[in-house]
């Protein structure tokens, strides 16, 4: 199943809701729809703030499609597969509107990269995170710049090297990936409603200039993230990774 992307706009606030039956993961088609949505909202005068969220309560995002990863047969396919999240991160950083992340559950791999690409993140106590890439023979190369920018190299190193263990939402907050953590979804949503409404009333030109400041020094990411995608594309074809993926699936 391809999954869905729904957008609702009200009082200059756009809410993007994505969903996929496999733990809100992203096959390439759904990923492209999300990229197109950010590009469209970026030029919409009726939007000043974007809230990014997923359906359900247990999982925010399980990252890229595991089925598509298993289907990679050559370097070009590998580069194309990993370029999906590269294109999404670039779309989010270049989007002219501030992006608020709403995280109600766990995130893995590319899902953590999405959170690092948001400008402000609300989460619940259930929003654990994990970068499992090294455990299957690749690495979080594409999303690394976004995480390093948000958390610093020390926190990113800890998260990526400890590939089999979850980090709590409070750990993520301490490391600056999350801005606020709440006990319940209801409390989180109240916080999101308050901040998004306040931001929607501010001067849109001022919001745009703030967004530019937040992302200063990232203009080279268009090329950098594709180069990182090529690294992952090569590694996924290695004997080590093929064996790890086979064991993971069995």
DSSP of 31-62, one letter per residue?
A: HHHHHHHHHHHHT-TT-SEEEEEESSSSEEE-
26 SS3 class: strand
Structure tokens at 4: 């869905």
Say which CATH class 4-184 falls into. alpha beta
pLDDT (tens digit, 0 to 9) for every residue of the chain, 250 residues total?
689 999 999 999 999 999 999 999 999 999 999 999 999 999 999 999 999 999 999 999 999 988 888 889 999 999 999 999 999 999 999 999 999 999 999 999 999 999 999 999 999 999 999 999 999 999 999 999 999 999 999 999 999 999 999 999 999 999 999 999 999 999 999 999 999 999 999 999 999 999 999 999 999 999 999 999 999 999 999 999 988 888 776 5
- Residue 71's pLDDT is 87
Q: For residue range 40-87, what is the model confidence (pLDDT) as tens digits?
A: 999 999 999 999 999 999 999 999 988 888 889 999 999 999 999 999
pTM of the model as a whole: 0.95
CB 83 within 8 A of CB 229: yes
Please report where in the chains the tokens 């490391």 appear, as a residue: 175
Length of the chain: 250
Pair 155, 162: CB distance under 8 Å: no
* Cβ atoms of 167 and 130 closer than 8 Å: yes
What order of strands is seen across the sheet that includes strand 106-108? 59-61, 106-108, 129-130
Q: What is the pLDDT of residues 195-204, one digit of tens each?
A: 999 999 999 9
Residue 243 has what pLDDT? 86
Place of tokens 């958390």: 151
Domain ranges of the chain: 4-184
CA-to-CA dists, residue 99 to 53, 89, 208, 218, 241, angstroms: 10, 12, 11, 17, 34
Beta pairing partners, 203: none
């Amino acid at each position: 199943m391809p999954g869905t992307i729904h957008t609702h706009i009200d009082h200059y606030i756009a809410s993007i809701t994505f969903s996929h039956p496999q733990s809100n993961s992203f096959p390439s088609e759904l990923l492209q729809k999300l990229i197109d949505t950010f590009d469209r909202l970026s030029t919409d005068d009726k939007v000043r703030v974007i809230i990014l969220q997923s359906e359900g309560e247990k999982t925010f995002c399980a990252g890229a499609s595991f089925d598509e990863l298993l289907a990679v047969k050559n370097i070009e396919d590998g580069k194309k597969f990993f370029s999906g999240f590269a294109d999404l991160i670039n779309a989010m950083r270049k989007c002219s509107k501030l992006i608020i992340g709403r995280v109600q559950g766990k995130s893995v791999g590319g899902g953590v990269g999405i959170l690092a690409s948001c400008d402000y993140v609300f989460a619940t106590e259930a929003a654990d995170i994990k970068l499992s890439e090294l455990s299957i023979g690749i690495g979080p190369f594409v999303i690394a710049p976004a995480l390093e920018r948000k958390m610093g190299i020390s926190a990113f190193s800890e998260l990526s090297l400890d590939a089999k263990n979850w980090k709590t939402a409070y750990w993520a907050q301490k490391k600056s990936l999350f801005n606020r953590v709440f006990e319940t979804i209801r409390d989180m949503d109240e916080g999101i409603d308050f901040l998004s409404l306040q931001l929607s009333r501010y001067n849109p030109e001022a919001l745009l200039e703030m967004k530019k400041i937040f992302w200063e020094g990232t203009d080279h990411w268009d090329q950098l993230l594709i180069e990182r995608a090529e690294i992952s594309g090569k590694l996924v074809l290695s004997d080590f990774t093929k064996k790890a993926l086979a064991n993971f699936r069995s």
